[in-house]
Structures are given as C-alpha cells and as structure tokens.
Amino acid sequence: MKRFFLRILTLMIIFTSFIIVPACGVDKNKVNNESDIIEKNESQELLEGFEDKSSVVSSKQLKVVDGELMDASNNPIQLKGISTHGLAWFPQYINKDCFATFQSAGANVIRLAMYTGESGGYCSGGNQAELIAIVEKGVDYATELGMYVIIDWHILSDNNPQNNQQAAIDFFGKMSAKYKDYDNVIYEICNEPNGGTSWAQVKEYANAVIPVIRENTDAVILVGTPQWCQQLDPVIADPITGYDNIMYTLHFYAATHKDDLRSQLVRAKEAKLPVFVSEYGICDASGNGNIDIDSANKWVELMDEYNVSYVCWNLANKNEASSVLNPSCQKVSGFTEEDYSQEGKWLIEVLGK
C-alpha cells in the first residue's frame, strides 16, 4: 500500500511540473541571459575585492613636478628626519626601535650614510658585504615603519665622485634592482663633491650613474653639488636633462653658512630648481665647534616657506657638536631628554612642530 501511494505522489509531482512551468510563460533564453548577468555581477563583485597592482600607485611614491617634491596625489610633501653617521663606525643605531624613536618625534625619513673614501669605507678597504647588509637592514626597518629612506653614497675625502664611478654604478645597479618595487627609497648618488670638483664633472658622473638606476626604478635621485653641496648657481644655469625625478642637494652648517647661502637657495627655488637639503647641522662647517641657534632657526623658517625637505646630521654619540646624542649616552633607542646633545634637543623640538 505504501508503494502505491508513493507512486501516485511521484506521478502527481511530475504532472504538476509539466503544467506549472509552461503556465509561467518563462522564456528559456531570458533565464539563460539572467543567469549570465548574475554570474557577471558576482564575478565583478569578486574582482572589486582585488587591487590592480599594475595601475595603482602607492601613496608613498614620490615625484618631482615643477621643481617641487610631490606625493602620488600631486600634493607637495616635505621630508624631515635624521642622517646616520658612517655606517661602518656607528652601526648600532641601525635598528627599528631607534628609527621609531625619531619617527615618534616627527621624523619621516632616515638617511643611511655609507662612506666611500674614508678608512673602512666602501671603496677604501671596508667590508662591502657587511656595509650592504647594514644598508639593507636600514631600508627594511624604515620600510616596516612606513618611513622614507635615503641610500647615501657618502663621498667626502675622495673629493670627485668620478674617482669611484664604476663602484658607484655597480652599487646603485644592485640597490635599485633590489628595491625596484619599493616606493619609499631615495638614491643619493654623491654626498659632497669638493676639492675643486666642478659641476661639469659632477654632471658627467651623474649622467653615468642615473641610467643604471633608471633601468629599474623612477625613484627620486639626489645629486650632490660642488663645494660640499654649496653651489646651486651653476646647476641653475645647466641642470641635468632627460630624466624625471632628479633633485639637487644643498648642505649647510648654521654657524658658518648664513645669508649668502640662504640667498642662493631662494634663487634656486625661484628658478624652480628641485632642491633637497640632505644634510645640515646647527654648528660650524667642521661638524664641531660653535652652535648658532638663531641662524639654524632662520634656515628652518626659509626651508619651511619653500617646502624644502631637510635631514639633520648626525645620529651618533660622537664627541662633536653635530652629533645628536651625548657622548655619555650608551642607549641605541628610546632616548630621553638627558640623552640628547644641544643639537639633539633642538632637533626634537623642530621635528615636533
């Protein structure tokens, strides 16, 4: 009996389905089209959940527009921070907590100063593998913190950057290939040309190094200027052409460099020359000696007026006026007021404004 009723029920369901479906007047093609629409909408919703990395530019990407440093949204941006001393001599400050200490004070950029010509420098007997490893750690820590980082080929006693040009080409080829997908790395290709090195010589060097970097990235490149980065006038008259995102460095030490050099910065900015102060101090040009707070404050006011980025020298406890830490400070992060030198205390105040 149960089987009989199950058969009757099955026949009724089949019979009903034949009656109901045609009665609804459903267009089979329409059903298929609507299914396609639903599938396409679902696919679109899924795709909207993914970011197209090929067309989206990171908000930290920098560029130079009409002589100004800009972010990815074409808004003017000003970088403020601190430079390490020589990486070979003070590697202990290359740590994430140290960088975070200055970030909490208001810094958004770290400069990694890798000397080339001095004892222990990259081109003068230093352990190149170790120096590169320190640079890489510095880039990693800055990146993890969301900070910008400058890789600085710190020529000084080697005077003319052409003296170690091939080493620079090899170094920046490796660095730019490694960090080609990073949007926070800046390349400073020659710290302070000096010893009578002309702008023509620096320009020739730059035109040899820049293409190597440009093979991998359009990141901002900083080019040093003659006389320890105090001659912008020759650059105004004959800038580097053929490349985007090039800036020129000016360095000052407030107790030595005053109105004359400040006037040169004004001329450069009025001429729309992209200028970046990648090193400065509030003492005299020796990096030691007298401190001039009044002159330093005038520099800051001028740089802020023209939206010029500036990086203070130096993150170390060396016994000199330009070090931001007291010689007695043995900490490598988490510094407090008593740990800072006179320049250090001034810097923390400036970064916090």
Q: Which of the following is catalytic: 188, 192, 320, 343? A: 192
One of 68, 188, 279, 343 is an active-site residue; which one? Answer: 279
- With CA atoms as reference, report the closest residue to 168 among 150, 188, 194, 148: 188
Q: How far apart are CA 238 and CA 206, in angstroms?
A: 13
User: Closest Cα to residue 226, out of 188, 194, 181?
Assistant: 194
279 catalytic, yes or no? yes
C-alpha closest to that of 130 among 87, 164, 86: 87
Q: Is position 42 annotated as part of the catalytic site?
A: no
Tokens 């740089």 locate to 303
The single-letter code of the amino acid at 165 is: Q
**Minimal CA–CA distance to 65: which of 73, 74, 57?**
74
How far apart CA 34 and CA 304 sit, in angstroms, is 60
Q: What is the DSSP string of 184-247?
A: SEEEE--S---TT--HHHHHHHHHHHHHHHHTT----EEE--HHHHT--HHHHHS---S-SSEE
According to DSSP H, which parts of 24-127 are helical?
Answer: 28-48, 96-105
Buried b (16+ CB within 10 A) or exposed e, 16-55: eeeeeeeeeeeeeeeeeeeeeeeeeeeeeeeeeeeeeeee
- Pairwise CA distance, residues 3 & 14, whole Å: 17
Helix axes 293-305, 259-270, angle to 10 degrees: 0
Which residues are designated catalytic? 192, 279
